[in-house]
Chain A
Amino acid sequence: MNRLSLLLYLFCFSTLVGCYDRIELEQQSYVIAIGIDKTDEEGLVDVTFQIANPEVGSTPGGGGEGEEPKETVTLTGTDIISATTTANAFVSKELKLDHTKAIVISEELARSGEFLRVIQAATRTNQIRRGVQIIVTKEPAQEFLNNNKPKMETRPHKYYQLMLNRASEIGIIPDADVHRFFQITEGDADLFLAPYATTEIEEQKKGTTEDDYIAGNVPQQGGSSSQFMGSAVLKEGTMIDVLNGAETRIALTLDNTIELTDIYSTYKDPIKPKYRVAGSFGKKRNTEVNIDYKKNGTTKIDILVPFELEIFSVPSLVDYSRNEKNKEILRKSIEDELEENAKVLIKKSQEEYGSEPFYWSLYVRDNFKTVKEYEQADWNKKIFPTAEINIEYHLIKLEFGKAIDDTKLNEVRD
């Protein structure tokens, strides 16, 4: 066989490869959100796919007038992946989960403990990214996805991207991707927090602080029909409670694995308690967690939270900026208030949950030489619930915005 024919043979073989898993873009449908609901039958779940319609809103002058920006379909199946093929009975294109932004589970499913079985597929398939966010909804996920009709970001991927990003940046919901879920759940020591959302707007609470809500009772008029606020607490893959926005924020500030931007929040005005002082809370340094582990005694945990605060509104018009005495009072009051709130949450997690949502088990691990030893010591059953926890907030920088003086009320109204 001479070299020429060898070359020809090679060329022939190259035509046999058949392009493997090549598929054109327009032959695929992109699922943006997956909803999972419990059914009456064990082992079966209702899977809802929210599919983006590429023709709406993506190109100026593009076609598809009168079409919806998304299509939401629900079917019953055993798991997410096989449901995508069943869905082709009524969806015309291949469903791709690569671009999924969120997995929405109903509170019912989360509380039943079945969620772990269904989400397990996410670790095996390469279709679901590890960065997909898990959202727990008060109502069934199917209802949430169908009712969720944003007014501005009508394209679903944009909505979830922006909504989840912003809300978790300011700490009213946690950043909860699939990867973190498995990390914490399989670590079997800490609690996993997932964003809590709903489209069922219920009784509206009034008169509390800016973040003392859970989804569904944030006073809202107009706008989108869905609310993201607070977090669902998942212990070992099962939901056990809901934290409100304020508690979620505290949990997130105590957790060093989560980045927060500056949070606008209000604090009691120590001199005129009728008013509240508003400021931007910044945590630039890590929370210091010192665990003094005692094998046969009470473990001591010392927490130090360094933070910065830039006051931008003092409605009581008390001079905190120039009066050093007042400033000291304010500083003390804010630190105390934060410590108080944190203590309540810590106590709750020690007594009610038997574990903590702050990912503190990380700091006890260096007391052990082997994984086995650590597992035997049992952080969430033996160490944490009985530990003696001291928490201290330390205000390292107090600023007063760009103007030092407030308006002098008595001069204005003379």
Chain B
Amino acid sequence: MFPFLKSKNQTKDNNKDNSQKVLIYKEVEKNNEYIRQLFFAEKNKDFSFRTLTAKYIQKKVHIFFYSSIVNSEKIYNGIIRPLLEADGQSIKDVITIESLTEIKDFDQVVNQINSGKAVIFIDGDTTAYSIDVAEFQARGVEKPENERVVKGPKEGFTEALGVNVSLLRKRFHNHSLIAETALIGTRSKLEVSLMYVNDLVDQDILKNVRERLENISADNVSSIELLEQYIEERPYSIFPTILYTERPDYAAQFIEDGYIVLLMNNSSAALVLPATFWSFFHSSEDRYARFLFGNFTRIIRMLAFAITLLSSATYIAVTNFHSEMIPPDLLLAITSARERVPIPLFLEVIIMEVAFELIREAGIRIPNPLGPTIGIVGALILGQAAVEAGVISPIIVIVAALSGLTSFAIQNTSLNPSVRLSRFLFIFCASFFGMLSLVAALVIWVLYMSSIKSFGVPFFAPLSPHFKSRGDIYFRNVIKHEFWRPGQIKPKDKRKSN
């Protein structure tokens, strides 16, 4: 039940031994038979193969591919037609498509076909050729759903790796921006793209990331959301340590500073690492807005952060333990409202907080046509009617609504749940000894946060421990006055030019 409490004794490593490589045969028919067995060609309807005689050598040629994940026009124009019509010395002269890879064994053949390539076998040749004709279906570039901005680009990542890489390259034109590929998964091998600027990124962090990717022993890691959970250090932690963003512009900002971005084919988001608290707390719009307004937004967000974390807990602590802190007018108003409420104040708060979480959860899951129901049910029944029925006091509605509403100001989809969960933690703590236990819990919470590391980088850096950085912590500087790259990730070139 609590695996983190058990000591780690054995690491599983059973899946990797049974690989002995089968080399490609000289006889094309033998290859043909082997492949067709391997891919269950009889049952697999979208597994296609084509046999033809190449004009340039007058030999039999077999082409294998999955028809569902390739561009058929490309196959016809780029492979079949040249083979049938063109003359030349070798296959490289005949097939002029951009990528042509030589492969020697069947493991590679399988990988290539699975990732949407066409593989060509030539009679009498022990080398097979793989040609990139992949076309996985994906939607186009759309607006990011969860990270909206008013001022700034509206493009979001999409579920196609090539498009995502392109969106990043579009924002940073530099020859040393590298899109390194790693394959993860044992049964289904999927590509992960590591993007970084070679002459900025810290090699230790890069090595660390590569190692973690290699150490994944799962059968299949199909998306970046799952990958995040495979490579993070503390899966039981309440705080995220890898930044998840839907915005290519935000990811590109990090690449420029020497961070590493991970992309995958099936996710409309990228992972940025190493991440600090500040990267979750900031929003890309903070930089797009002009200096004053950007910082004004920061103030609002900090305020919202404090309110959503502590308002309910403080309310419990103050009313249950320190009634002398409340101004008399408010005190008498709350008291008179509470006189007819049958449940303790602590339960009142919990009920409303849970109700708010229910509305939120239902709001996400509810089918679109039923959307407006949530508003009616939520606002009328839970708010007004419950107060009128005397189940809860009106002030609780204000407190819960305030703490619920402000939680939306924490835009980041990873940090937001942390804050919401912490809120419940604080509510419970406040109900034990009031402010005393609330403050104790808050101190422990902050201590814990500052103990976290993301790929070796402290969570609160560059604030604590202090590093030279562009000073974008609580508030940001004027763009022209940002002189340093974030020191905590040890970029090779620390000084920014402005």
Residues of A bordering B, CB below 8 Å: 2-4, 7, 14, 17, 19-26, 28, 30, 32, 52, 54-55, 58-59, 62-64, 96, 98-99, 101, 129, 155, 157-158, 161
B contact face: mostly helix, strand, loop, or mixed:
helix
Quote the shortest CB–CB distance from A128 to chain B (angstroms): 10
Interface bin, chain B: 20 to 34
Which chain A positions have C-beta within 8 A of B336? 54-55, 58-59, 62-64
Which chain A positions have C-beta within 8 A of B432? 14, 17, 19-20
Which chain A positions have C-beta within 8 A of B335? 25-26, 28, 30, 54, 58
**Measured between alpha carbons, how far is A62 from B1 in the docked complex, in Å?**
51
B332 touches A52 (CB 8 A): yes
Which chain B positions have C-beta within 8 A of A63? 336, 339-340
Which chain B positions have C-beta within 8 A of A21? 321
Given contacts A20-B433, A54-B331, A161-B328, 14 further A-B contacts (CB under 8 A): A4-B5, A14-B432, A22-B320, A22-B321, A24-B319, A24-B344, A24-B345, A25-B334, A25-B345, A54-B332, A54-B333, A54-B335, A155-B332, A157-B329
**Measured between alpha carbons, how far is A204 from B321 in the docked complex, in Å?**
49
**Measured between alpha carbons, how far is A158 from B338 in the docked complex, in Å?**
21
Which chain A positions have C-beta within 8 A of B404? none
Which chain B positions have C-beta within 8 A of A161? 328
**Measured between alpha carbons, how far is A4 from B2 in the docked complex, in Å?**
7
Query: Which residue of chain A has its CB nearest to the CB of B395?
Result: A59
**Measured between alpha carbons, how far is A99 from B333 in the docked complex, in Å?**
14
Residue from B324, B331, B337 within 8 A of A59 (CB atoms) = B337
Known interface pairs A4-B5, A157-B328; A55-B339 also in contact (CB < 8 Å) = yes
Which of A17, A19, A64, A155: most chain B CB closer than 10 A?
A19
Query: Which residue of chain A has its CB nearest to the CB of B333?
Result: A58
| Contact of B115 with A by CB under 8 A | no
Which chain A positions have C-beta within 8 A of B433? 17, 19-20
Which chain B positions have C-beta within 8 A of A59? 333, 336-337
Cβ contacts A to B, 24 pairs, < 8 Å? A2-B5, A19-B433, A20-B432, A22-B431, A24-B319, A24-B320, A24-B344, A25-B334, A25-B335, A25-B345, A26-B335, A26-B338, A28-B335, A30-B331, A30-B332, A54-B333, A54-B336, A58-B329, A59-B333, A63-B339, A99-B331, A155-B332, A157-B328, A161-B328
Which chain B positions have C-beta within 8 A of A2? 5
| Contact of B462 with A by CB under 8 A | no
**Measured between alpha carbons, how far is A59 from B323 in the docked complex, in Å?**
18
**Measured between alpha carbons, how far is A161 from B332 in the docked complex, in Å?**
15
Query: Which residue of chain B has its CB nearest to the CB of A155?
Result: B332
**Measured between alpha carbons, how far is A28 from B336 in the docked complex, in Å?**
11
| Contact of B434 with A by CB under 8 A | yes
Which of B335, B340, B341: most chain A CB closer than 10 A?
B335
**Measured between alpha carbons, how far is A2 from B334 in the docked complex, in Å?**
47
Which of A17, A26, A62, A155: most chain B CB closer than 10 A?
A26
A98 touches B323 (CB 8 A): yes
**Measured between alpha carbons, how far is A96 from B328 in the docked complex, in Å?**
12
B323 touches A96 (CB 8 A): yes
**Measured between alpha carbons, how far is A14 from B441 in the docked complex, in Å?**
13
**Measured between alpha carbons, how far is A2 from B7 in the docked complex, in Å?**
10
Query: Which residue of chain B has its CB nearest to the CB of A97?
Result: B324
Which chain B positions have C-beta within 8 A of A101? 328
Which chain A positions have C-beta within 8 A of B331? 25, 30, 54, 99
